[in-house]
Amino acid sequence: MRLARVHQLLAERDGIHWMQQYHEDYHYLGYRDCARLIHQQFGDGPLTLVGGVGSGAFTGALTTYLRDLRGDTELIGVQPFESVTFASDPVGDPVASISGIGSPVPFRHVRHALYDRVHWIAHEQAISATVALYREHGVFARMSSGCTYLAAAWEARLHPHRQYLFIAADTGHRYMDSVYRKHASVMPAAGLEPKVIDDLGDLSLPWSVMDWHRRPFAMPPDSALLASATGNVTSRYVSYGREIIGMAKRHAAVQEYIPNVRTNEKRVIVAGDTPVSGFLRFHRDNDNRADATVGAQYAPLELTDDERAFIARLGKRMMDHGIFYVGVDLAYPYVIEVNMENPGGVNYHRRATGETTPPRRSTRSWQLSAPPESCRPSRHSRPA
């Protein structure tokens, strides 16, 4: 409602401007004087700035201006799990995501090419580090500051010749019950060590770190794309009890560029060459794809004559390869996915239509036989 009102005012009135905290680059300008002060305090020696990547403004802005003023300035970003900013969204924190240094939606003014390295830290480790920061240095700060302290301390042990500046964004008053009253039971922060990774596909709890090498990042636009690229939570844990399936690392981004996906995406259950069930689905406002497992809405399936003919041709081709039952994600004339491992949809069909009887079976008969070895889906792959 609030955002709708903002858009209404922008449309109705001239001479007003919406200063979007998370998306407008001019917010960087507010940190220029602070960068000059830091440069005066630290001089020209090697400096590493460590900070949480929330909106991206203060870490990005300070680093931008510091690199204009001095030579060797390194930027270390700190994120929670479950944040899309640096693609930790598929990895859920079993306790809670840490507020203030991550986001479930993309922020446009995060400049990924500024960051040298990124840390991802879980909730329990953040509590330990926040308590340690107060015990050892008397800094009474929020949990995101504990995360940056933990990352900065590890970096300083690794490269002791550098100067380190970590940013503590806020005081700890609101964390008295959730953090500081647990001081007697927290694990010692001194014994915590991260898992060093070299690929986002290897991200795991409770603490991972990876060299980012100041590279740009085509941030996945939404949770549905991530679910499609990695295998959704239901597939990974509830249904199969295993880790990430699918080509999680670099595939499926092309889905963003198929306009039909946003208006006409259908899950069609195909038996042989006949559509026997399925549903039409609608994406959420912040999603590009309409994945039902991450909150999309659904409606009864209606196929056009062209779509039925297309599905029949596709089914015949699949049967030639020994594949007789699939879930097809269709945005005609595009096939987004052909899902053999988890071809769900009957349950959503029933929810959308209210039908309690099984969907109509195909009148065509076919020979069920084991598919050729080359066509059998592996437990780690999902055809797309």
Separation CA 296–CA 259 (nearest Å): 17
Which of 198, 219, 240 is the last residue in one of the domains? 219
Residue span of the structural domain in which 363 resides: 259-375
Q: Is 123 in the same domain as 209?
A: yes
Is residue 253 very low, low, confident or very high in pLDDT (cuts 50, 70, 90)? very low
Structure confidence by residue, pLDDT tens digits, 305-321: 999 999 999 999 989 98
% residues pLDDT > 90 (the chain) = 43
State the chain's mean pLDDT as an integer.
Answer: 80
pLDDT at 257: 55
In a domain, 325, yes or no: yes
Within a domain: residue 232?
no
Element (H, E) at 297: strand 297-300
pLDDT digits (tens, 9 = 90+) for 179-203: 999 999 999 998 899 999 999 889 9
Final residue before a domain boundary, out of 169, 191, 219: 219
Q: How many domains does the chain have?
A: 2
What's the pTM value of the predicted model, to 2 decimals?
0.59
State how far the Cα of 186 lies from the Cα of 179, in Å rounded to an integer: 9
Across the range 332-341, mean pLDDT stands at: 81
84 and 205 belong to one structural domain: yes
Same domain? For 263 and 214 the reply is no
**Does residue 345 lie within any of the structural domains?**
yes
Q: Alpha helices, DSSP H only, in the chain?
A: 2-12, 32-42, 57-69, 123-137, 143-158, 223-230, 233, 305-320, 346-353
Examine the domain organization and report whether 193 and 54 are in the same domain: yes
> At residue 330, what are phi and psi to the nearest 5 degrees?
-115, 130
Here the CATH number for the domain that contains residue 318 is: 3.30.470.20
Q: Which among 151, 143, 149 is positioned nearest to 173, based on CA atoms? A: 143
Span of 45-49, 300-304, 362-366 with lowest mean pLDDT: 362-366
pLDDT at 379 over 50: no
pLDDT tens digits for 93-152? Answer: 988 878 889 888 778 778 999 999 999 999 999 999 999 999 999 999 999 999 999 999
Cβ neighbours of 12 (radius 10 Å): 8
Asked if 151 contacts 76 with a C-beta cutoff of 8 angstroms, the reply is yes
